[in-house]
Amino acid sequence: MPADLSALIKAGLRDVPDFPEEGVVFKDITPLLAEPSSLQAVVEGIAARYEQAEVDAVLGLEARGFILAAPVALALGAGFVPVRKAGKLPRETYRASYDLEYGSETVEMHADALSPGSRVVIVDDVLATGGTGRAAVELVDKAGGTVVGFSVLVELGFLQGRRRLTDVEPHALAVV
C-alpha cells in the first residue's frame, strides 16, 4: 500500500461538471481504477481496516460500490451482498429510500442476504450527503445484522454526509 494513499486517490479522480445534472460535479473514479496498482492499493486500504473485525459480509452499493466491495469481501474472506436500485432484484427484498443532492432514490437488498447477527462492512465509492449510506445501514438493521464498518473511497467533506451516519463511524481513504 502506498505511503500516501489519499494523495494517490486524489490524483486519480476526474471531475465531470454538470453530471448527472447542472450544478453537480461528479467524481469519476474510473481513471484511478484503470491503474492496477491503484486499484490494489485502494482494496488493501479498505480491507486492512477490518482485518480483525470478524466480518461475515461486505455490502456493496450500486453501482460503483460493487467494484470495490467484491474484492474487499474476498480479501476479508467474507461474502459479498449487492444493494441495488429498486426493482433490480428478483426475490423478496428489504427496501430503504433516501434523498440525494439532486433527487431521491430507493435501494433494495434481498431479504435473505444476511443472517441475523451477521457482521457487515458497507463499502461505497463516495460519501456525499450520506443518504445512500443511511439507507444501507437501515437495510442491515432490517435483516438483523450489525454494521461493524462503513468505508468509502472518497468523502466529499463539504457536503457533511457523515452527520447522517450517527450510529456508524465512516472511514474514507481520502477527503476532498
Residue 28 within a domain: no
Q: What is the pLDDT of residue 143?
A: 98
Catalytic residue among 44, 62, 95, 101: 101
Can you give the CATH number for the domain in which 115 is found? 3.40.50.2020
Classify burial at 47, counting beta carbons within 10 Å of its beta carbon; exposed 0-12, middle 13-18, buried 19 or more: buried
Q: What is the pLDDT of residue 102?
A: 67
Residue 16 within a domain: no
Task: Give pLDDT < 70 ranges for the chain.
Answer: 1-3, 101-102
Residue 13 within a domain: no
Number of Cβ atoms within 10 Å of the Cβ of 102: 12
Pinpoint the alpha helices (H) of 2-100: 5-12, 30-33, 36-49, 64-76
Told to judge if 64 belongs to the known catalytic residues of this protein, a careful annotator would answer yes
Residue 18 within a domain: no
Total number of domains constituting the chain:
1
Residue 15 within a domain: no
Residue 97 within a domain: yes
Q: Which grid coordinates belong to 77?
A: 474472506
Q: List, in order, residues 6 or more apart from 176 with CB less than 8 Å away.
A: 10, 13, 27, 154, 155, 156, 157
Q: What is the pLDDT of residue 1?
A: 61
Residue 63 within a domain: yes
pTM score: 0.95
Told to judge if 101 belongs to the known catalytic residues of this protein, a careful annotator would answer yes
Q: List, in order, residues 6 or more apart from 28 with CB less than 8 Å away.
A: 13, 14, 15, 16
Pick from 63, 111, 107: nearest CA to 91: 111
Residue 33 within a domain: no
Instruction: Round to whole Å and give the CA distance between 58 and 25.
Output: 28
Number of Cβ atoms within 10 Å of the Cβ of 29: 22
Q: What is the pLDDT of residue 118?
A: 98
Q: What is the pLDDT of residue 21?
A: 87
Catalytic residue among 64, 119, 134, 162: 64
Q: What is the pLDDT of residue 20?
A: 86
Domain, as residue range, for 70? 52-175
